[in-house]
């Protein structure tokens, strides 16, 4: 599942929980699904942070080893 898919589904889960009118069982099921989706999003974000940090640590064209300016 992509980050965008997980994020979008998580948004829908939150909307359904906020709307209310669900049974306790339905609410618990949605909460559990939301937790799983949040974990998926966090994994994607951690991976992106690691890739960004690695790219910034890589010296460009044999220059000094500092981070590249943006």
pTM score of the predicted model: 0.73
**CB contact at 8 A, 13 and 54:** no
Query: Who contacts 2 (Cβ-Cβ below 8 Å, separation ≥6)?
Result: 44
- ∠ at Cα 45 (62, 49), nearest 5°? 20
The pLDDT value recorded for residue 69 is 60
Read off the pLDDT band of 64 (50, 70, 90). Answer: low
Q: Where are the alpha helices (DSSP H) in the chain?
A: 3-19, 24-57
What does the chain come to in residues? Answer: 70
- ∠ at Cα 47 (44, 48), nearest 5°? 85
At 13-63, the pLDDT tens digits run 999 999 999 999 999 999 999 999 999 999 999 999 999 999 999 876 555
């Amino acid at each position: 599942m992509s980050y965008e898919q997980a994020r979008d589904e998580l948004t829908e889960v939150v909307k359904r929980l906020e709307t209310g009118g669900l049974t306790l069982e339905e609410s618990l099921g949605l909460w559990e699904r939301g937790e799983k989706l949040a974990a998926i999003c966090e994994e994607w974000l951690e991976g992106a942070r690691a890739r960004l940090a690695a790219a910034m640590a890589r010296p460009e064209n044999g220059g000094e080893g500092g981070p590249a300016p943006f």
